[in-house]
Amino acid sequence: MDSDTIFPGLSFGEQLVQKYEDATLFGRLSVVILLTNYRLLVRWQVISCGFFSPSYHSSINLYSIQKIDHSPTSPNAILVLPLFIIFSISWLMIFVGELLSVSATLFIIFGVLLILLSIIVFVLLFVVQKRYFIQLRGTFGIAILKLTENTARELEGRLNEMIYQRKLNE
């Protein structure tokens, strides 16, 4: 393993099957996932104020995973509601500017700029932040992994295969 994937040592007979690496937008969260023939090892590290915080890791035994759910993330409702409010206020400013006629061109310009800004942010929410959740349920509780689409699909397929092989070997 390389220096950025520090995990407790692998058990006797445990072999590394696949390594997955992912980072969120602007690299604020780095995730390294190791799939072995017995366990799923997950290590994540958060960057705060430009510095790396200590990394954290978890280990999930493959035989303890009972259900895997895979779904795309939806835009955060907390962000969509303020965008809708800004969009509405912008239209109201344009309407007031039209009622007040020539003296309120600043209202109209500012309203149009707010509309354009809210549309750009809304589109970015759908395009840039397209992430997928893999939710694992089992005797350990619930574990949620947030990954890019390709990484999530590849991990889910390989994880299903490894769980099936693990259950056949028991």
Cβ-based neighbours of 13, under 8 Å, separated by 6 or more: 38
Closest CA to 17 of 168, 157, 170, 169: 157
In this prediction, residue 23 has a pLDDT band, given cuts at 50, 70 and 90, of: confident
Query: Taking a C-beta distance cutoff of 8 angstroms, is the pair 131, 146 a contact?
Result: yes
The string of pLDDT tens digits covering residues 84-98 is 777 777 777 777 767
Using CA atoms, how far apart are residues 41 and 73, in angstroms rounded to an integer? 23
The string of pLDDT tens digits covering residues 42-71 is 888 777 766 667 777 888 888 888 888 877
Overall pTM > 0.95:
no
Q: Which residue matches tokens 């061109």?
A: 105
CA 124 to chain centre: 14
